[in-house]
């Protein structure tokens, strides 16, 4: 998806490169001169507005096997892109003499970015920026209305250019600037719909009450519960309502998505940009040879303590536990072309848990490290995806009004796919974006987000290279229904006693089983 608030800014690039060739270039100078002139008038200007683009400076030189030059450019043909263009054509010129390019050394790369002085990084942040990969130095200059000066590390080789590292560094600085601008401003939140007021039959915290009644117990892990037969039956009833009233009538099919997420998925989904403070990390043993692990086993047998530090040296991180639920689905379609006539496609997954390190925010079954969610996912053309989101909204309203009888509201918020990449701030997207569903908890008076409906644009199909036969953009959307959140909202408003529940819901749940008693 294109960045919406990108404003064109002045940038300059100056790159010194040395092309090391397979044999001496002497004798080819006049041909090279003709080629360099052609570069400066045509090749390095292509695609740029009149008078813009890149230039090879006149002091280029040939010495034995080396061709040395400096490229100067604006933002239209960035110097590193110019170098790649140059190399491709230069290879052809010297190829006629059976000479090839053996290696490209980047000797010096300086970039200046126009930067308004309101956006200066504080000294502390500037010090951190010096440690960025491939950065030799980043400084701020007040000259000429304010500039950010980047000097890249000379270790950067040609492959870094193919990986677009200079562009990513620039983007990162701009993102950090935007983050500073947004700091203090609250996240985007815009009311879209508010239900009628509803009767509340309870004013306590439902988790506390369920603990008292032995409906659930805190598990051994942080933010994790073991759900007893009664609350489990309620979860299954909520799930049944979702399937019967929404998934089945709207033509959904069930799938099973992986619950361990490999890094490659999060690289493509964007989560690799920001998930680190909240991930549950997954590691595998460096080897399954029992001998390699003997010292750990022995340590435990002697001390009855698990030697976590010893284990850390013997394992390897390979990814994390399910966090957003839909990203690993996309590997199913990765690199594929779909015929348009099978669209729209609607699938859901309810095959397992999601995990988030919630830190200080844990609270009852409302905020957990381990939770259960039905993830609803649809894809189609842009129009199909937007239309389907409206159908979902209608079905949800029906469920909340006619079956659960809860008081809730819908708000347009920062899209989850931006928030999870660590981007806060304004939701400037109009067609793609997230609607959060919130319900009031009478015991605290606070509103709890209990599900969302999102149009994700072409983000996922693009990230996982999925295309349509017609060449039209493939779009997708998703909606996460947290079973704990639905239950928390319903029970907080209606209480734990079935005789106060709306008739329809009570008949779907049936009798609550009484299985355990404690002495
Ligand atoms: N994948 C979306 C999210 O994580 C919906 O569940 O919010
Ligand atoms: Zn999703």
Task: Walk along the chain (519 residues) and give the pLDDT tens digit of each residue.
Answer: 334 334 446 899 999 999 999 999 999 999 999 999 999 999 999 999 999 999 999 999 999 999 999 999 999 999 999 999 999 999 999 999 999 999 998 888 999 999 988 888 999 999 999 999 889 999 998 877 789 999 998 676 677 777 788 999 999 999 888 888 777 666 788 999 999 999 999 999 999 999 999 999 999 999 999 999 999 999 999 999 999 999 999 999 999 999 999 999 999 999 999 999 999 999 999 999 999 999 999 999 999 999 999 999 999 999 999 999 999 999 999 999 999 999 999 999 999 999 999 977 788 999 999 999 999 999 999 999 999 999 999 999 999 999 999 999 999 998 898 888 877 655 556 789 999 999 999 999 999 999 999 999 999 999 999 999 999 999 999 999 999 999 999 999 999 999 999 999 999 999 999 999 999
Q: In this structure, are residues 89 and 40 in contact, taking their beta carbons and an 8 Å threshold? A: no
Ligand 1 atom with minimal separation from the 481 CA: 6
Which residue in the list 375, 405, 410, 484 is annotated as catalytic?
375
CATH 3.40.190.10 fits 187-261+323-509, yes or no: no
Active site residue 326: yes
- Fold for 10-181, please state it: Alpha-Beta Plaits (3.30.70)
Q: How far is the CA of 168 from the centre of ligand 2 (A)?
A: 26
Residues in contact with ligand 1 (CB, 6 Å cut-off) = 324-326, 375, 416, 452, 478, 480
| Domain spans, the chain | 10-181, 187-261+323-509
Q: Which long-range contacts (CB under 8 A, 24 or more apart) does 192-199 make?
A: 192/409, 192/410, 192/411, 192/412, 192/435, 193/397, 193/409, 193/410, 194/409, 194/410, 195/397, 195/400, 195/401, 195/406, 195/407, 195/408, 195/409, 196/407, 197/407, 198/405, 198/406, 198/407, 198/493
Ligand 1 atom with minimal separation from the 327 CA: 1
Active site residue 14: no
- Fold match flag (10-181 vs 187-261+323-509): no
Distance (Å, rounded) from C-alpha 239 to C-alpha 411? Answer: 23
């Amino acid at each position: 998806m294109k960045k919406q608030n990108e404003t064109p800014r002045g940038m300059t690039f100056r790159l010194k490169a040395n092309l090391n060739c397979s044999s001496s270039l002497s004798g080819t100078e006049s041909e090279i001169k003709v080629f360099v002139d052609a570069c400066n008038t045509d090749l390095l200007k292509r695609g740029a507005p009149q008078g813009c683009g890149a230039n090879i400076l006149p002091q280029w030189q040939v010495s034995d096997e080396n061709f040395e030059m400096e490229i100067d450019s604006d933002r239209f043909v960035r110097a590193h892109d110019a170098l790649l263009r140059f190399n491709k054509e230069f290879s052809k010129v010297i190829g006629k003499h059976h000479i090839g390019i053996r290696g490209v050394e980047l000797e010096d790369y300086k970039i200046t970015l126009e930067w308004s002085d309101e956006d200066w990084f504080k000294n502390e942040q500037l010090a951190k920026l010096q440690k960025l990969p491939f950065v030799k130095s980043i400084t701020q200059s007040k000259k000429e209305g304010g500039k950010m000066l980047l000097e890249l590390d000379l270790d950067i080789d040609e492959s870094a250019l193919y990986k677009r590292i200079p562009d990513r560094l620039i983007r990162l600085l701009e993102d950090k600037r935007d983050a500073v601008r947004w700091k203090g401003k609250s996240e985007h939140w815009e009311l879209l719909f508010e239900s009628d007021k509803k009767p509340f039959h309870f004013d306590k915290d439902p988790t506390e009450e369920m603990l008292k009644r032995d409906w659930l117990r805190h598990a051994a892990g942080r933010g994790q519960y073991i759900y007893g037969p009664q609350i489990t039956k309620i979860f299954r009833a909520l799930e049944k309502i979702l399937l019967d009233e929404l998934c089945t009538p709207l033509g959904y099919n069930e799938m099973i998505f992986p619950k361990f997420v490999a890094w490659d998925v999060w690289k493509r989904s964007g989560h690799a940009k920001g998930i680190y403070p909240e991930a549950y990390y997954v590691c595998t043993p460096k080897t399954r040879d029992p001998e390699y692990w003997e010292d750990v086993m022995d340590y435990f047998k002697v001390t009855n303590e698990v030697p976590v530090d010893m284990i850390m040296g013997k394992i390897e991180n390979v990814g994390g536990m399910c966090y957003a639920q839909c990203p690993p689905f996309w590997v199913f379609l990765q690199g594929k072309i779909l015929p348009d006539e099978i669209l729209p496609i609607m699938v859901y997954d309810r095959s397992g848990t999601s995990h988030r390190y919630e830190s200080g925010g844990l609270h009852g079954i409302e905020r957990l490290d381990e939770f259960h969610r039905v993830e609803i996912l649809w894809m189609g053309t842009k129009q199909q995806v937007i239309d389907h989101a409206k159908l979902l909204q209608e079905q949800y309203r029906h469920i909340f009004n006619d079956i659960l009888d809860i008081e809730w509201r819908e708000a347009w918020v920062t899209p989850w796919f931006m928030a999870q990449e660590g981007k806060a701030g304004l939701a400037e997207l109009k067609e793609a974006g997230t609607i959060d569903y919130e319900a009031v908890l009478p015991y605290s008076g606070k509103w709890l987000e209990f599900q969302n409906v999102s149009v994700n644009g072409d983000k996922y199909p693009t990230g996982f290279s999925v295309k349509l036969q017609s060449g039209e953009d493939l779009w997708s959307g998703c909606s996460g229904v947290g079973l704990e959140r639905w239950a928390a909202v319903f029970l907080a408003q209606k209480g734990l006693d079935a005789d106060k529940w709306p008739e329809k819901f009570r008949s779907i749940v049936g009798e609550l089983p009484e299985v355990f008693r404690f002495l």
